Structures are given as C-alpha cells and as structure tokens.
Chains A and B, each alone.
Chain A
Amino acid sequence: MKILVCEDDYMVIKAIEHKLTREGYEVDVANDGRMANEKLRSKEYDLVITDLLMPFTGGLELINLLKNDLQKSTPIIVLSKVGNEETIIEAFKLGADDYLTKPFSPNELSIRVKRFLIKR
C-alpha cells in the first residue's frame, strides 16, 4: 500500500514516515506543493496525507487537483495546523475525506489510515 505524505515540516514527515513504515506501508514524501503536484500526476497512490500550507501549491489546491482535475478516488486525509471552520468546510467541499488538526496523535492517524485502506 502506497501512501504519499505532503508536508514541509521535517519532523512531522519523519514521525509519520516512521510510524507508517512500521505498520508496513510504503511511504513517499513531497516537501512542497510543486513536488506534490508532480508526484500526484505521475504516480498512483492508495492514500494521500497532506498539509495545507506548503511552499508553492497549497493543500487545498492539491485536493482540487486530485479529486477534480485528475478525477481520482484516492482518499485524502488533511493534516494541518489550520483549524478554523471555513477552511475545514472548504477542504471537505473540495473532496477531502478526513481532516485532522495538529497537534495530532500518531496512533490516531494510523487507525484512520487503516480504515481507509481496508476499504480498498
């Protein structure tokens, strides 16, 4: 199972990467919006975890890209510090499947990931 993590905070990436790799998933990483853009267009993933604030393209645009432009059904989990009502609603409207705010619990993240991937 391949997961793409789009996040610019190095520590967060490391934490998620470690946790998910231990659970047996294959984790690919994008450090900024542009990289994420390229990867989404060129590869297939079973799940995408993305932050909203990244250099170049923001998370909301990525969701739009994946769900509306590329028309893929890959589940998207948003993991962001931004927690205000509008942004959350906007994310779901654009097609996000789940929204976690930071600070997050790696255990919780892992369970949610599992939930999405079991369905596949």
Chain B
Amino acid sequence: MKLSDKYKKNITWILAGAVLAVALLLFIISQAFLLDSDQVVVLVDGRERGSYFLGEDAEIRVETEHGYNVLTIRDGRAYVSEADCENQVCVHTQPIGRAGGQIVCLPHRVVIRLKTEGKSEIDAVTN
C-alpha cells in the first residue's frame, strides 16, 4: 500500500520528466542534423515554388490558390511579414536564419524552410 501511494504521488513527475527527456533527446538529435544552408525554399502544397538567398534582402509575394503570404528576407533572416490567412500563425512565427527552423501557413499549405538538398535524412523521412 505504501509503495502504491508513493507511486501515485511520483508518477506525474516521472511522466513529465520522461516526456521532457524525450523532447530534449529529439532536440539534440535535430540539432546534430542541423544544416548550414544559406538559402530558404518556399513550398506550396509540397511543390517547390522558389528558393532565395538569405544574404540578399528581398520581399517575395507568394500567391496560392487560398491566399497570399509575403516572405521578407532581411539581415540574413526570413519571416512572413504579411498574409491574409485567418490564423496569422505564419506571421507570428519567429524568423528563420541559417540555424534552421521553418515557417508554416497551414491554411495556405505554405512551408518555408532552409533548403536541404537531401543533406538531412530526417527531413527525407518525414516528407
């Protein structure tokens, strides 16, 4: 009985710790596979729409059948400055730089991420 009580009390923290440990592990793995790319690629519905150098400031209007997203590249970082989607998740997403990351606009089926060119096995699996 005593053991069971102790178990009940701790299982929440063990569970929380275990999931956080898995998250940390996945994070470390994903960092290990980090690509050092100087280009971002814009995918609409999985198809490549274009790729752009992070080194060149630019403003690219991405038109999709659901709406538009404006991709802005400034000081080596890329972000969505404007979009007419209803949730604006892409606009609130942190800018991506050479270190990685991705911007997704689910309503418009737009994905903006570092150009991989088959260097990352993880990305190949999840595609």
Are A and B bound to each other? Answer: no
Taking Cβ atoms with an 8 Å cutoff, the residues of B that contact A are none
